[in-house]
Amino acid sequence: MSKKKNEILQDMFVLRIPMFVFIIGIIIWFYLVISNYYSVNNINIFILEQYFSLEEFGEEVGLGNILSFIKNLISPFFAMLIFFAAYSIGKKIFLWLKFPKISLLEKIIFSVSLGFLFLIIASYIFGIAGLFYKNILVGVVIVLSFLGVYDLFITGEKREFIESGKIKFYGIEKLWILLILFLSFIILIGCLSPEIFYDSLVYHLAKPNFWLNSGKIVPDKTKVITGFYPGNGNIIYALGLSFLNETVCKSIHFIFGIFAALTTYAMGRKFFNHRVGLFAAVLFFTVPYFGILSYRSGMEMFLSFFETITIFSFLLWIKEKNDKWLLLSAINCGLGVGTKYTTLYCLLSVLIIIFLYFLLEKKGIKQIVKHSIKYIFITFLVASPWLVYNFYHTGNPVYPYFAKHIGFIKPRVVDSDPAIRIYNLSEWKNDFINILKSPWTVSMGQHEEAFLGITILLCIPLFLFFKSKWEPTKYLFIYILIYWIIWSFLHKLYFRYFFPVLPIISFLSAVYIFETKFDAGIKKIILLVFTVIITGNIFFVTNMQKYVNNCLAVVLNLDTRENYLNTIRPTYPTPYYGVADWINKNLPKESLISMMGELRNYYIERKIIMYDLSNWVPLVIWSGESKDEKDLYQRLKNEGVTHIFLNPNEAKRVGDIIHWEGEDLIIFSKFWNKYVKEIYRDIPDISFPQQKIYSMKKQVPDWWKNYSSEPHNYNYVYEIMSEEEANKPHQIPYNFFLEKNFYSETRWQKLQPLVQQFFSK
């Protein structure tokens, strides 16, 4: 951007108060924010030494460990193939739609989003048709990725690609690049480790794994609610699982985060200059929660990418008045809705902005209605595969939302309807004051997973006291405000649901820092302060990964995958992998396992009967529908159930998830005594890295002896015996379901008399 154009842009930001007053105010603000934040969020300055220390494994890192790390890089390689495949087909769609000429980076970003639209729809069609097999999905990706690599590096785009890499970085920018590269390395280590994120093991990965094993996109037998959440992200993860395992999926999620940052950079460069774009990307990339979320196989990076492109395209529409940009915006909004319903907040915000835009432009109500209807239609058209899927299987296109009123599938726990919070207006009045305080309280980490950091909070005085004459500014602030209010009310400031807005906030922050009229010396001091805080954020992420996941050793093959997945960690309670591994190695392929007290199922390679927190356990339902224990036994035989899996500690941790009503428990207990036998048990190890305890079993043997003597700390596999075997004398396994601490106080009051009567007999 020319110097003259930059000066014109700077005139668009006018200070509302005298500069000296503002400088004094911002110094006080910086002091208050920084002192309060670091008084409760200490930075471990020794974390790099601790992170790379592997002394607990008693051996130095050798060539073999380095080779193991290199071998693990096959996972991000496979992930990149999927992105090249998306670029390949997406570019053709982009050219077919005849968009205006743009930079190569913008073309790559937009092509990737359109390419994923194609991959998702194609995979969905394969899945509905019963052709959801790994070989087919891998074949499609490899062919398209080859074309993408050929197109980008060998043919028409080659020269432009080389030219785009000639951007020069100066001074502090080089330090930012180094910080980003280091953080990327730490995140990559997390991506290469086995997945322990709860939501992934329950449905982010478990759902696509179930589809692949079924060869079809179909609900499980018990129709768990998570099976009907929008599935775009699950389809993308199915592509990753088709190549290898969950480490490919984690790498995919991280690369989506990189693309969200690149989109933020492209916005800054498009509307202002390279420095604005770079700093915007750096701000987003170094928010502590980015480094924590991006090596999970979650949905947040998908949403960040799709929703940021939604807004980028929308701004291009405002600037160029070309409806094709509005089309691209709606397509990406639809991709977000098809990934997670929270993108509806993005949709609502955009529709309000369309209304205000045409109102200010004095275009009339006809234009507002016309463009709003088009936008809504395209958004829901793109998301429609999952709405149709839900309607077919449940009678409710947005199941489980409003399930109490719509459809033929009803959650047994009526209060589980996630829409209840939307129309329960009586609670909203209590939240107003929390919304006003939330920029401070969230930044200070006073809410669940509130790892925002303070870089955004520091920019608030700029937003308040500099008036922007750049037209899109007001629309971006409206977008953020509406999204913030909806999120605050519906999610009680649970920060993960607001994360996709951070690229837009980071973009605005960078614009205000670089494009307002500051003294050069003051601006350098501000950038230096931000750089120090950004470095602290990276240390924070490194510290979190070390003491929550401690995954470097397993990536270097100093620790085994089996041991890593069967050790209790701060965010990985009551592991089940030891039993899952035994099941995979010992039970017949045709086994059908009914899960009890455990929702995580990704690592089990046998057919299972699942349930979730909103539905009763199938065994509970069948017990209630049976006349006696023999009738229940016959019901399980008819269903094909051969084994029962039980995780007692997980059942107690989640709380009252096994909903016996009374007589059903007695019927089940009689069945248990006659037909069930224990065939395997396993106890997970425990790790407390903060106390330098990596294995309670090895390091604290006396404590471990007591811990391992308690039956509740084990996971169990039970076999349902044949009639012939059941009639022979056998040892009756301990029945955990007759214990008080398995239930809520209310439920136990109902069960206790029957349990006492059962024991008396």
Token representation of residue 392: 């077919």
Buried b (16+ CB within 10 A) or exposed e, 499-526: bbbbbbbbbbbbbbbbbbebeeeeeeeb
188 and 253 Cβ atoms separated by less than 8 Å: no
Residue 643 β-bridge partners: 593, 719
What token pair was written down for 694? 């990596």
Residues of the chain with pLDDT > 70, as a percent, come to: 94
Segment holding 654, helix H or strand E: helix 648-654
**pTM exceeding 0.85:** yes
Q: Tokens 């890499």 belong to which residue? A: 165
pLDDT tens, position by position, 521-572: 888 999 999 999 999 999 999 999 999 999 999 999 999 999 999 999 988 9
**Residue 494 and residue 504: Cα distance in Å, rounded?**
19
User: Which residue ranges of the chain lie beneath pLDDT 50?
Assistant: 1-9, 423
pLDDT score at 63: 86
User: Cα separation of 298 and 315, whole Å?
Assistant: 28
The SS3 of residue 680 is: strand
**Strands (DSSP E) found in 543-697:** 567-568, 592-596, 607-609, 643-646, 676-682, 685-686
- Report residue 174: phi and psi, to 5°: -65, -35
**pLDDT for 386:** 98
Q: What is the structure's pLDDT at 615? A: 75
Buried b (16+ CB within 10 A) or exposed e, 238-262: bbbbbbbbbbbbbbbbbbbbbbbbb
Question: Residue 167 has what pLDDT?
Answer: 74
Determine contact, residues 647/574, Cβ cutoff 8 Å. Answer: yes
